Amino acid sequence: MVAKHGKSEITLKGIGVSPGIAIHEVQLLSPQIHQAVQRSINPEEVAAEIERFKEALIATHDQIKLIQKQVSKVLGDEHASIFDAHILVVDDRSFIEDVIRTVRKDLVNVEPVLQTVANRYADMLAKVADSYLSERAADIRDVTKRIMANLAGETLNQMAQISKNCIVVAHDLTPSDTASIDKSLVLGFVTDLGSATSHTAIMARALEVPAVVGLHNVTAVVSTGDTILIDGGRGFVFINPTDARLKEYKKRAQEQELILEELGTLRDKPPETQDGYLVPITANIELLEELNGIGERGAKGIGLFRTEFLFLGVEILPDEDAQTSAYEEAARSQHPSPVVIRTLDLGADKLPANFEMGDEMNPFLGDRAIRLCLTHPELFKTQLRAILRASTLGNVRMMYPMISCVQELADANAMLQECMEELREQAIAFDENIQVGTMIEVPSAALVADLLAPHVSFFSIGTNDLIQYTMAVDRGNENVAHLYKPTHMAIIRLIDHVVKVSHEHGQWTCVCGQMAAAPTLVPLLIGLGVDELSVSPSQAPLIKDVIRKLHYSDAVELAQKALVSPSSEYVEELCHAMIKRIAPEVLELSE
């Protein structure tokens, strides 16, 4: 097809990371490259060279802090915390000392040494098939570019090239680039590199800027001034779109606006199927600032309160009083609806520097979450006491992350009982009947759910990790991302098993991972007997719309077919066909 300006339309497919439709002229960003030219220095010049490096580190630290502050004002602390990882890099003593030691030994200027050391650290992390570690590799490269710019006395800001309305096209955008986007000028962006779980993708969604990443060669086939159309939901990019394409997408954009308005009317309506089956929708939150948005989007209560925000970017670990205050605020805001507080789900690598612990090659599979808490009882018991103290309203529940065996669960409950006894002795009130549950996010926990059930009141299935651990797939790695299948028979059977065990023990099961937020998979989860869905507040209207248009009996029939299906693709087709029949408007927004 040929557009009216005589250029042929080019269609590309990437990863849609931030939904929405945008049409405008291209602004192609040229990457700022700082060549690390090597020069020899005399021994007496070493001190001055090291001082120059330290000044660049200080300047970089200050710049990142300023970006973090600006992001916090616009988007809140949740998204500003992305830059905690950048601060950790620029303050990393082993990284800094490695550079200084090499400068002294080789008698060369700092730039090539910095580049070599940074590449070694980043490459080592990037080779590990784990999304957390690969993001740390990207953080190292981002910070290194900023330090190099400061060494050269230059400003590092790709967005400074933008002076008029456009859609940005770049080989890659760092989180700091994305944080610098002026929404009044940048209507969307596309990149050669990137993944759905990258910090840049998270920033794009927070800014509500349509974005498609992972296009590989978009910078090679587009020029500044070309017209570009991006579909951030479906991941399509059209360069020099035809009149017919423009007409189609302008109509779709109008339809999406109308659908969003209609979904807004569901806020106060119950999440109940056509045949009267109630499926509570609760919220996944990280920050206290998100509390007000829960009810506004139609969710009730909190199904997953991630407590990690209290521990990130701080010099000193939060004490019992500070934690109690935060948990009480959440409980009061949602009362009488339940608030499920998850205990700390971090590795020591993200805790303050004074929290001493050895380095790990793969912290994703290392001493983290419940493992870290059990080996540091002073840390764990402080949090347990705070949760108990906040439970006096009667709507607080708590759960443990990354439980993999019965012994871990028994040990955690033993510490909880110790905390309860301490509070009784101090005459400090708490809910004696507080519900205690566990996350099911590793296959071993799912398979021994019958042994875990006597020790808890409920299960919460974290499908993101359950899928990754079960399938041995990092969904952020584009080489294997196609193997990340929520509809794989192994996943469906694990969920089915966990739900059946919980019901046999008179308990309930929630799903709080991305499967719960995928409208096409909601009927499958409900048909498998999942009792509650916990999603980000923004997804609540879509999920409620599906539930209210669904017949529970149809969902059960779908689940039974899925349990004997020949392939994950067949299950996807069944789910898609059901949503297309009962709630096609949801597909318009989510695909």
Question: Mean pLDDT for the chain?
Answer: 86
Among 422, 415, 389, which Cα is nearest to 400's?
Answer: 415
Among 25, 75, 124, 583, which Cα is nearest to 290's?
Answer: 75
Q: Is 5 a catalytic residue?
A: no
DSSP state at residue 9: P
Please give the C-alpha separations between residue 63 and each of 57, 58, 83, 237, in angstroms, as whole numbers.
10, 9, 11, 33
pLDDT at 203 over 80: no
The model's pTM? 0.70
Q: CATH second-level architecture of 271-590?
A: Alpha-Beta Barrel (3.20)
Class of domain 10-32+157-243: alpha beta
| pLDDT-wise least confident of 217-226, 369-378, 413-422, 491-500 | 217-226
Work out the end-to-end distance of the chain between its first and last CA atoms, rounded to an integer number of angstroms: 24
Separation CA 588–CA 591 (nearest Å): 6
Pairing relationship of beta strands 15-18 and 236-239 according to DSSP bridges: unpaired
CATH of the domain spanning 43-151, picked from 2.30.130.60, 1.10.287.3510, 3.30.70.260, 1.10.274.10: 1.10.274.10
Separation CA 280–CA 292 (nearest Å): 18
Query: Which range scores top for mean pLDDT: 34-38, 128-132, 369-373, 435-439?
Result: 435-439
Contacts of 266 (CB under 8 A, 6+ apart): 298, 541, 544, 545, 548
Cβ–Cβ under 8 Å, residues 298 and 540:
yes
Which is the catalytic residue, given 34, 79, 86, 199?
A: 199
Separation CA 548–CA 541 (nearest Å): 11
Give the amino acid at 305: F
DSSP state at residue 454: G
**pLDDT in the model for residue 547:** 97
Q: What count of other Cβ atoms lies within 10 Å of the Cβ of residue 425?
A: 8
pLDDT at 507 over 90: yes
pLDDT at 287 over 60: yes
Burial bucket for residue 274 (CB in 10 Å: 0-12, 13-18, 19+):
middle
Separation CA 462–CA 440 (nearest Å): 6
Q: How confident is the model at residue 141 (pLDDT cuts 50, 70, 90)?
A: confident
Separation CA 585–CA 546 (nearest Å): 10
Share of the chain above pLDDT 70, in %: 87
The domains of the chain are located at 10-32+157-243, 43-151, 271-590
| Model pLDDT for residues 306-353, shown as the tens digit of each residue | 898 788 666 688 999 999 999 999 999 999 999 999 999 876 545 555
Separation CA 164–CA 183 (nearest Å): 11
Q: How confident is the model at residue 224 (pLDDT cuts 50, 70, 90)?
A: confident
Can you spell out the DSSP letters for 468-484?
A: HHHHT--TT-TTTGGG-
Pairing relationship of beta strands 166-170 and 186-191 according to DSSP bridges: parallel
| Model pLDDT for residues 538-554, shown as the tens digit of each residue | 788 989 999 999 999 99
Mean pLDDT of the 203-214 span: 82
Which is the catalytic residue, given 166, 373, 512, 575?
A: 512
Which of residues 179 and 354 earns the better pLDDT score?
Answer: 179
**pLDDT in the model for residue 406:** 97
| Model pLDDT for residues 428-446, shown as the tens digit of each residue | 999 999 999 999 999 999 9
Mean pLDDT of the 233-244 span: 92
- Count the alpha carbons within 13 Å of 519 in the hemisphere toward its beta carbon: 29
pLDDT at 223 over 90: no
φ, ψ for residue 413, nearest 5 deg: -65, -35
Mean pLDDT of the 218-242 span: 91
Tokens encoding 378: 């002073």
**pLDDT in the model for residue 68:** 76
Cα-Cα-Cα-Cα dihedral of 179, 180, 186, 188, to 10°? Answer: -30
- SS3 string, 326-389, reads HHHHHHHHHCCCCEEEECCCCEHHHCCCCCCCCCCCCHHHCCEHHHHHHHCHHHHHHHHHHHHH
- Placement of tokens 């999603």 in the chain: 535
pLDDT at 408 over 90: yes
Separation CA 384–CA 375 (nearest Å): 14
- Placement of tokens 């590449």 in the chain: 119
Burial bucket for residue 214 (CB in 10 Å: 0-12, 13-18, 19+):
buried
**pLDDT in the model for residue 126:** 66
Q: Is 199 a catalytic residue?
A: yes
Tokens encoding 47: 């001190």
Q: 350-361 burial by CB neighbour count: b if 16+ within 10 A, else e?
A: bbeeeeeeeeee
Please give the C-alpha separations between residue 496 and each of 461, 521, 530, in angstroms, as whole numbers.
11, 14, 9
Mean pLDDT of the 473-498 span: 86
Apex 518 CA angle, 561 and 216, nearest 5: 110
